[in-house]
Each structure stands twice: as C-alpha cells, then as structure tokens.
Structure 1
Amino acid sequence: MEEEKRTVRAVERALDVLLCFTAKEEWGLTEISARIGLHKSTVHRLLATLEDKGFLIRDEATEKYRLGLRMLELSAHLTRSDDPAVMLLPEMEGLMNRLGETITLYVRDRTERVRIQAVQSTQAIRRVAPVGARLPLAVGASSKVLLAFADPAVRALVLTDPSWPSAVDRSGYEKQLDEIVAAGYATSIEEREPGAAAVAAPIFNRSGKLVAALSVSGPSNRLTYEVMKEHASYIMEAARRMGAMLG
C-alpha cells in the first residue's frame, strides 16, 4: 500500500495546524488558514477540537491561539535516558568549556535538519542557537555532515528533491560531500548568514549508524578557517565519545 494511502487526512490537517507553532508562539485563524492552505471554516473546526483537547489555548482578547498545557504533558515524557539530546549534554558542555563557542546537535528530518540540543557560548559576542529550529540541508557545516555521511540513497533523495534551491549547484555540493567524508569533518563560513561560521563532525552510534551532527559555531572573525581546522580534532574526538554512549 502506498504511503499516502495509509495516512488520515483529518489527522494530517490537525498536525499541520500544530506545526505552525514551530515558527512563532501565537497564530490567528486567518494566519493559519493562509499558512496551511485550508478554508477558514475547516481550520476553525480543527482549532476548536485542539482547544477542547487542551493542545491549544485561545486568547479571548486577541482571538489568537497558543500551545496549551497538554503539549507540556507530552513533552515531559519525551526526555528519556536514551535521548541523545539528554545523554550527550554533559559532553557538549565540556566541549563548550574547552573551545568557548556555541555547541549544537542536529539530526536530519527528511530534507531539513533540526537542532535538538544546544549549549550557548558564554562569550559576549556569540552564536545563539535556539533548540527546535529547522534549517535547510543545502548550506551549513552540519547540513553537509548529515548528507556526506548518510546512506547513498538518502543523499540522492535530498539532492534530487524539488525543494533543493536552484542557487546551490548540486554537482559542486556533492563534490564537497565527498571531500568531507575524506576529511572527517565539515566547515562553513557565512553560508547561511553573514558573520557566522561553523565546523561539524558526524556522530555514529555503536552500530555504525549516523545519528547526528555535532557542531561548533561562532562569529566568523573568531572562527576562521585556521581556527576551525585546529578545533576539528577536538570535535571529532568528542563526537567519537558521544557515539560510544549511544546504542
């Protein structure tokens, strides 16, 4: 049976509504309708159901919705002893103390990467990395790591996806991925945003499966290519220790 035939459309629509709240905290009916491409009457029924079940709260004054307490109840059971975001946090904190820059952990979700953990630098000028952010796989050190060390089928799937930005040459990007595999780490300077740089390494579990990308990021005037090259050995070693912790 094809994947799309196994899904329930009403559930998909309700989840699309909830996913709006990954972008900002409050949404109005009209805004959600425009974002997910559904008629306002349909969205209104979905919102009423989610509000009734406690997943959303409606502000009577502004008539906008925000996430409800039921979401907190669910998230309380998300943190488990085998959760990489929890297990690897002490190692990330140690790496931040050693290198003085922001440390982040990314996983791939289809054609995007998701930041699942971060330890912010304590320096006055630093890279701020909010947990939960979704970023494209076309740019950035962590993106390149997640594709370079992925299964060939995954790499091909992402590189041939229609959403791949036309400004990024696929063949040139794929050549970079091969070079990253040989080096064991990836770097990026101002690829996604001006003034930012990052160096990342892969984390494999004990079975040899790629689990996440470990990244060190900061201002590009401090994280020069030479500095990132020096940091790479520490990052790869930390990534190896982290991988040994994962089943």
Structure 2
Amino acid sequence: MEERKLTVRAVERALDILICFTTDTDLGLTEISSKIGLHKSTVHRLLTTLEEKGFITRNQATEKYRLGMRVWELAANQSQEDDPAHILLPEMERLRDVLGETVSLYLQDGKERIRIQAVQSNQAIRRVAPVGMRAPLSVGASSKVLIAFAKEEVRAELLESLEWVSDEENGHYVSQLSEIQALGYATSFEEREPGAAAVSVPIYDRSHHLAAALSVSGPVSRLSMQKMKELAPMISEAAGRMGKMLK
C-alpha cells in the first residue's frame, strides 16, 4: 500500500514538472524546483526519467530544459473530432479577418479560464494571446462570460470559491454579471493588462449548453468601450455559427 502511494506521488510530481512548461518554454533546474516546491535533487531525478522517456529535453549549452518530442507526438494523436479548438479555428480566422483584432477561445477549468485557441491580429500593434495561458475567473471579459452564462448552480459554486479582495469587490462583480446576462456580452478595459481591452460572448452548443467564451481583444487605442459595443453583435453572430458546429 505504501509503495502504491509513493508511486502515485512520483507520477504527480512528474506531471507537475510538465505543467511548468505551460507558461515557460525553457526552465533551469532551480527554476523548476522553485515552481513546484521540491528539492533540486528530487527534481533532477524526475527530470532524468522524463528525459529518458522523451518528454523532456535538455540543452547541453544552457543546462535549460524544455518539452521533448514525445509530448508533441501525443498531441498529434489527440482526437480532433470533438475538439472545439480545432473545429472552430476556421471561423475564428474569418472573424479575425473581418474585425482585424486577436480572437481567442476560452474554457473554464476550476477557478481559472484557459485559452485553448487563438488567432493573432495581423496589425503591427496587437495583443499577443498565447494558447494554454491561464487566468483567474475573477477578472476579464471572458471570465465574466464563463460565469454569467453558466448554469445557476455552477455560477453560485464558482462565486463562492473565488477569492476576493473585499466584499465590495465581490458585490460589484455580481452586479456586473446581471448586466452581462441582459446584454449578452461582457467587456474588460485594462482589467488584467494595462493597455488591453476585450469583448467576449458565450458560445452555446447544439444542446444549448455553454461550450466556451469567444473573445476579441486588442489595444485600448482601437478598442474603446463604444467600439466594443458596436462589435458585440458581430461577435455574437459568429458565436452562433460556431455553436451549431459543436455537438
């Protein structure tokens, strides 16, 4: 029984190492050790095993680690039949071409949102949206959409679980959700990143279940509140087309 617990713990720690690379491309031993809170000797042993299996590769010159080819092999074999990131990409590209701004697709994952797909703006000054990025559900246009249009019991559970600076902040957020439900879209103006703005709408699948949040983002110099209000109907129309593509 004890051996089984140790084996599971080793797997969890190895996965924690791989998860570190969702936000960084190259990491040193000390950086990984700090991120997951383990002694460097333990991390080094795990990295050696991951390297032997092809999940991690090490740059001999810099002593930095990065994801190995085995990870990409697994990703290449992932089923795309029901993957919204794959299915909705052409429509996202069309929306980007019409609006000229970065288009992103978000899912809720626990108390966070994760960007599962993004199509970058072609403009010289643009908001770069890395796929795989996570952000708290307590801030941002897409976060508000994922909560506002969730099932009532899910919304209540999420609001209860999120950490707030104050009751006043919580109350303001809840009042925002009611307005968003009435409008059908959410906006954010320099809420998470200085100089960045975004407008987001829900995507419902064919069973009318909330499937994702569709977001258009860019610099505040181009996306004023008035501009986002004007774009919202076009984004909602695109979201409607996308929803019909999902089971």
- Give the TM-score taking structure 1 as reference length: 0.91
Between the aligned partners of 1:124 and 1:51, the Cα distance in structure 2 is 39
Given that residues 150 and 210 in structure 2 are in contact (C-alpha distance below 8 angstroms), is that contact kept between their aligned partners in structure 1? yes
Match of 1:185 in 2: 185
User: In structure 2, what is the equivalent of residue 240 of structure 1?
Assistant: 240
- Within 5 Å, give how 1:197-236 maps onto structure 2: 197-236=197-236
The answer to whether the Cα contact below 8 Å between 1:105 and 1:116 also exists between their aligned partners in 2 is yes
Equivalent in the alignment of 1:72: 72
Corresponding residue for 1:96?
A: 96
Cα distance in 2 for residues equivalent to 1:129 and 1:37: 28
Q: CA deviation at 1:94?
A: 1.4
**C-alpha displacement at 1:191, in angstroms?**
0.8
- SS of 1:8's partner is helix
Deviation at 1:72, TM superposition (A): 0.9
Please say if residues 127 and 196 of structure 1, whose CA atoms lie closer than 8 Å, have aligned partners that are also in contact: yes
Structure 1, 88-97 or 73-82: larger mean CA deviation: 73-82
Secondary structure of 1:201 counterpart:
strand
CA shift at 1:138, angstroms?
A: 1.3
Displacement of 1:152:
2.8
Match of 1:44 in 2: 44
Distance 1:15 1:152 in 2: 33
Unaligned runs of 5+ residues in structure 2 are: none
Deviations for 1:12-55, whole angstroms, at most 9, x for unmatched residues?
A: 11110101111211222222111111122221221111111110
Who is 2:147 aligned against? 147
Q: Deviations over 1:134-183 (max 9, x none)?
A: 11211111110011111233323332336x24168112101111211111
Q: Quote the residue 1:125 is aligned against.
A: 125
Q: Distance in 2 between matches of 1:29 and 1:124?
A: 36
Moved more, 209-218 or 79-88: 79-88
Flag structure 1 segments of 5+ consecutive residues without an equivalent: none
Q: Is residue 10 from structure 1 mapped to residue 10 from structure 2 by the alignment?
A: yes
Number of the residue aligned with 2:19: 19
Secondary structure (helix, strand or coil) at the match of 2:12 reads helix
Secondary structure in structure 2 of the residue aligned to 1:125: coil
Output the TM-score relative to the length of structure 2: 0.91
Shift of 1:79: 5.4
Distance (whole Å) between structure 1 residues aligned to residue 164 and residue 30 of structure 2: 29
Displacement after TM superposition at 1:231 (Å):
0.7
What residue in structure 1 maps to residue 165 of structure 2?
Answer: 166
Distance 1:198 1:183 in 2: 15
1: CA distance, partners of 2:31 / 2:194 = 30
Whole-Å separation in 2 of the counterparts to 1:132 and 1:115:
5
Aligned residues, how many?
241
Quote how far apart the aligned CAs of 1:60 are.
2.5
Q: Is the 8 A contact 1:79 1:86 kept in 2?
A: no
Aligned residue for 1:80, secondary structure, equals coil
What's the CA shift for 1:107?
0.9
1:73–1:214 Cα change, 3 Å: same
Instruction: Indicate the percent of aligned positions where both proteins have the same amino acid.
Output: 65
* Contact 2:164 2:170 survives alignment (8 Å): no
Partner of 1:137: 137
